[in-house]
Chain A
Amino acid sequence: MSNFDPAISAWRRQMLAAGIKSPALLDELESHLREDVEQGMRSGSTAQAAFETAVQRMGQADVLKAEFKRAGKMNGFSRINHNRLYATVLMVFLITLNLLNLVPTRGLSGMQLSAWLEQGGGKNASNGLLGIYSEFTSGGFERCALGGLDIIPVFFRPWAAALGVFYSLAVGLTLCSRILHPPRAAD
């Protein structure tokens, strides 16, 4: 059937142009096309007519692409559990915030500031805004102030960060496994 090769190549180029790019899929469709052409010729069609009928039966490239897209939509990304996705994003955000606490803020010395507050720096400083802030962030003021803004993991920062990492990993792994092996929809 080598005399079909140019026509098949042209057909493949057409499919490629329409966005069907997977070589394995194109190989499979090509194998089907050749089978169909041979069958057509066995039942008496000319080579030309058999080829044209087979291509027509296969369908327009853009229609095929749309079918694959439609079939693909029913699994994979559309089946992601969005709650888990949001939880992961939130945890990553909180971890980042916690890590930001490790970035020192230029020009601020925590020790000096703390000594100044203890000496009653300012008026009744331990009750002042800065005092409360510094206490709440367990010294976050001398580091990146932005990172100190999260409240939850204040009291046991390393544990919170470790838990956060563990939780995010668990969620991330679950998410990946669901993308790779999506659960089947209920009947």
Chain B
Amino acid sequence: MLTKELVAASTEPLILSLLSRGESYGYALIQEVKRLSGDKIEWSDGMLYPVLHRMEHEGWIASRWGEAENGRRRKYYSLKKDGKKALQGQREQWVTVSGVFKQLWREQYV
């Protein structure tokens, strides 16, 4: 499990990255990140929706009500232009950090 701080820091870039693959909705985002992390990242509903709404307010993502296959209404989120820019900035930072770790740990263990 990730620490609270790391979850807080990674939620926005993860949402941006997930949405860069196409529009999605809250429930699916939670499931997808859970699957990709091998059940190690489990977002709570109470945490995700406030973040989604804040990101929408920031102009990073847009939302629309749509209909699911079973006829139920769902709120879909998609990436906006500013969101793509934000993702690019965040991505560079995460790549930098993970690059440093990779080098350090390779030196250590090889």
Partner-B contacts on A (CB < 8 A) = 24-25, 27-29, 31-32, 34-36, 57-59, 63-64, 67-68, 70-72, 74-76, 181-182, 184, 187
Total inter-chain residue pairs, C-beta < 8 Å: 69
For residue A75, which residues in chain B have a CB less than 8 angstroms away from its CB? Answer: 54, 57-58
Interface size class of B (residues with CB under 8 A): 20 to 34
At the interface, is chain A mostly helix, strand, loop or mixed?
A: helix
Q: Is A57 within 8 A of B45, CB to CB?
A: yes
**Interchain CB contact (< 8 A) of A187 among B47, B57, B93:** B93
**A68-B75 contact, Cβ under 8 Å, with A28-B26, A59-B45:** no
B106 within 8 A of A: no
Q: Is A67 within 8 A of B47, CB to CB?
A: yes
Q: Is A31 within 8 A of B72, CB to CB?
A: yes
Q: Closest residue to A28 on the B side, CB-wise?
A: B75
Partner-A contacts on B (CB < 8 A) = 25-27, 44-47, 49-51, 53-54, 57-60, 65, 72-75, 82, 86, 89-90, 93
Task: List 27 A–B pairs whose Cβ atoms lie within 8 Å, in order of A's numbering.
Answer: A27-B65, A28-B49, A29-B45, A31-B25, A31-B27, A31-B73, A32-B26, A32-B27, A32-B45, A34-B72, A36-B27, A58-B45, A59-B45, A64-B50, A67-B46, A67-B47, A67-B50, A68-B49, A72-B50, A74-B54, A181-B59, A182-B57, A184-B58, A184-B82, A184-B86, A187-B89, A187-B93
Q: Is B46 within 8 A of A71, CB to CB?
A: no
Q: Is B46 within 8 A of A182, CB to CB?
A: no
Q: Is B72 within 8 A of A71, CB to CB?
A: no
Q: Is B26 within 8 A of A68, CB to CB?
A: no
Report the separation of the CA atoms of residues A32 and B77 in the bound assembly, to the nearest whole angstrom. Answer: 14
Most buried by B among A27, A58, A181, A184: A184
Q: Is A31 within 8 A of B46, CB to CB?
A: no
> Chain A's nearest CB lies how many Å from the CB of B89?
6
Q: Told that A68-B50, A72-B57 touch, could you supply 11 new A-B pairs with CB distance under 8 A?
A: A25-B49, A27-B75, A57-B44, A58-B46, A64-B46, A64-B50, A67-B47, A67-B50, A68-B49, A71-B53, A182-B57
> Chain A's nearest CB lies how many Å from the CB of B33?
15
For residue B86, which residues in chain A have a CB less than 8 angstroms away from its CB? Answer: 184
